[in-house]
Amino acid sequence: MDYLFILLGLILLVIGAESLVRGASDIALRFKISPMVVGLTVVSFGTSAPELIVSLEAALNGYPDVAIGNVVGSNLSNIGLILGLTALFFSVEISRKTLRTDYLVLLFLSFIYFGLLSWDGNTGFLDGTLLLGLLIIYVSWLVFQNRRENKVQLEEGHEHAKPKYSGLVSSLYFAIGLIALRFGASFLVDGSVNIAQAFGVSDRVISLTIVSVGTSLPELAASLVSAYKGQKEIALGNIIGSNIFNIGCVIGISSMIIPLQPDSSQVLSWDMPLMLAFTLAIPLLMLIRRKMNFNFIEGALLLLGYSVYIISLF
């Protein structure tokens, strides 16, 4: 039954995230927010929603390593597995604007979270408030900048993307997504923890592998589809935006509800530093290759690094 719960949980998380993204993206277009900003905010939040629900569920049920490992593992899999896999098949373009703004925000939040967790071994209400506050400032700035750019584009005669659905249909997609995510998270956490305990596998390992990869499936689908459709910059924007939301929203809100203190010392000594290393790998690989994109070689290197990490966990 536990394996069935995990499978059902993963299916509901993927369906829920897809439905949530579809509805939220259409709602965002009604407010004349550009597709790129939708990718960095609405789509990123939608694909990070499974992590949020899973981490909250785990924290409230007394599994802090699952709550933290889910976010750290998800950020690792977003870069190592998803960006690596996408770059393996498609060239993923990176704009200088994305590097100067969104990537720097991700790097800043990653180091802030690592610093807060290292300071006293946990993230509490004030830490969560800080992380969530920084995220709100970032999103507000993005929307403000976008609306200003849209105003200039309209004056120049450019048309804005139109919503595909009516307001009622968009809201229905959004609501179905939330419900599916809620039940999918419960099934995934319960099944994973039961199996981990039965086989003597730690909560840390199970959260960094099955749970984190499972909750990252929406990011994988969104990135591959975006790259296949030629929206290659959005593919990276989704990954960077999702990692930003994982720290600012998932850890922020979870810490505000219940203090998150890892049971395993390896979270601080190994998993978190590796998450920072993978985040730093994005500009370093571009500097080495002197290209503003990721292709087969970069994708293979990221996948290799992620595979070695997963093997080391066991």
pLDDT at 181: 73
pLDDT given for residue 112 in this prediction: 94
Contact yes or no for 263/63 (Cβ under 8 A): no
Are residues 92 and 240 in contact, defined by beta-carbon separation less than 8 angstroms? no
Task: Quickly name the fold that domain 2-313 has.
Answer: A middle domain of Talin 1 (1.20.1420)
221 alpha carbon, distance to own chain's centre: 12
pTM for this predicted structure: 0.81
pLDDT at position 108: 94
In percent, the amount of the chain with pLDDT more than 90 equals 17
Query: Whole-angstrom Cα distance, residue 188 to residue 90?
Result: 31
- pLDDT score of 305: 93
Closest CA to 212 of 57, 56, 50: 50
Confidence of residue 36 (pLDDT cuts 50, 70, 90): low
Closest to 212 in 3D by CA, of 8, 84, 65: 65
pLDDT tens string 5-23: 888 888 887 787 778 777 7
Full 3-state SS string of 161-188? CCCCCCHHHHHHHHHHHHHHHHHHHHHH
Report the distance separating Cα 275 and Cα 69, nearest Å. 11
Axis-axis angle for helices 232-245, 125-155 (nearest 10): 150
pLDDT of residue 284: 87
| 151 or 54, which is more confident | 54
| pLDDT per residue as tens digits for the range 194-253 | 887 788 888 788 888 877 877 777 777 767 766 776 766 666 777 888 899 999 998 999
pLDDT tens-place string over residues 263-287: 777 888 888 999 999 999 988 887 7
C-alpha of 194 from chain center = 25
What ranges do the domains of the chain cover?
Answer: 2-313
Token look-up 């993005």 returns 142
Predicted pLDDT of residue 155: 56
Burial of 291 (0-12, 13-18, 19+ CB in 10 A): middle
Find where tokens 């998450």 sit: 275
Of 168, 71, 155, give the one whose Cα is nearest residue 117. 71
Q: Please tell me which residue, 216 or 292, carries the higher pLDDT value.
A: 216
What is the crossing angle of helices 64-77 and 232-245, to 10°?
160
146-186 pLDDT per residue, tens: 777 766 665 555 565 677 778 788 888 878 887 887 788 67
| Highest-scoring range by mean pLDDT, 73-82, 86-95, 175-184, 199-208 | 73-82
Cα-atom radius of gyration of the chain, to the nearest Å?
19
Token pair belonging to 192: 């994973």
- Number of other CB atoms surrounding residue 40 within 10 Å: 29
The pLDDT of residue 176 is: 87
Terminal CA-CA length for the chain? 24
Q: What is the mean pLDDT of residues 77-96?
A: 85
Average pLDDT, the chain: 81
